[in-house]
Structure 1
Amino acid sequence: MMTGIVLSLIAGALVGLQNIFNSKVNEHAGSWATTVLVLGLGFTASFTLGLIMEGADLFVLDGMKAWFWFSGLIGVGVVTCITQGVRRLGPTYAISIALTAQLVFALLFDSIGAFGLEIVPFTFKQLIGVLVIIGGILLFKLGGRSKKASVEMKEKRLA
């Protein structure tokens, strides 16, 4: 369990870092060029490491449903949307919203057993947890900054 927690923490840090880098690339290259660069380099790295680590077993895909192969297409939407979100909202707010949406949909998919997942019963505690996270984001975004400063920062980002 501890390994899973550590790996999840590392993944969260890497996602936050990647989103910031993607946003910086987007400032110079544009949204679609950023998506091509990010996913192209990701493919190259994954393919190379997969061959090194697994060799020919990399291509053994027995029993996998064909529609799961399209998850890379979902990645195009992820990179494009989060890059634009970071540009318009800033990294902390955009990533907070994206991670909260990820949590909400993961909870929904677990609760209904979507896509072949084992059904995890929905509980009131889970709902409270999600609402606390949403409340924290609202508090973060709306608290401690004057409206004038918020408008100035937004104008600066869009400029």
Structure 2
Amino acid sequence: MTALLPILFAVAAGLCVAVQSPSNAMLARSTGSVWFAATISFLGGTFVLLTIWAAYDRTPLSAVRAAPAWAWIGGLYGVVFVAAVAYATPRLGLAVTLTVTLAAQLTMAVALDHFGLLGLRQEPVSLSRLAGLALVVAGVFLVRR
């Protein structure tokens, strides 16, 4: 039961990624620029986040000083993801794009877990995790066919 809320949040995130990808791809197609579309996407998200922060959270700006240097570049990863998916979706299709990104995410997640990097708890690679990754990669090829 304690995992239910995080699972529901993860499901919501997955659903949003599936809808975000074609939305950003359409914006890129309409404007003629993946970069401009990504900028508009981030500006909209920034507005929503700032509104929620100002209305409900109000953590002081000085709190960010406590974060390690590598934590400051999280937005860079979002830029790469949004722009790459906006570019890839109309060329590969949504299902292929998302299965490829999912396979890449899980591969990186297993590596980060294994070494306990970026503040994560160390979770050694196991045969079952490798088998799961192999199935996801096989799924990429099956969805692509």
Same fold judged by TM-score > 0.5?
yes
Structure 2 contact 107–133 (Cα < 8 Å) conserved: yes
- How many percent identity over aligned positions? 24
Match of 2:17 in 1: 15
Q: RMSD of aligned C-alpha atoms?
A: 1.3
Moved over 6 A (4+): none
**Does residue 1:116 correspond to 2:119, yes or no?**
yes
1:58 and 1:10, CA in 2 relative to 1: closer, same or farther beyond 3 A? farther
1:1-159 matches, cutoff 5 A: 1-29=3-31, 30-55=33-58, 57-59=59-61, 60-61=63-64, 63-142=66-145
Q: How many residues align?
A: 141
Between stretches 131-140 and 117-126, larger displacement belongs to 131-140
Q: 1:66, CA displacement in angstroms?
A: 2.7
Extract unaligned runs of 5+ from structure 1: 143-159
Deviation at 1:99, TM superposition (A): 1.1
Cα deviation, residue 58, structure 1:
4.7
Does structure 2 conserve the Cα–Cα contact (< 8 Å) formed by 1:23 and 1:86? yes
Q: Is the 8 A contact 2:95 2:143 kept in 1?
A: no
Q: Rg larger in 1 or in 2?
A: 1
Amino acid at match of 2:127: F
Provide TM-score, normalisation by structure 1. Answer: 0.84
CA apart distance, 1:62: 5.0
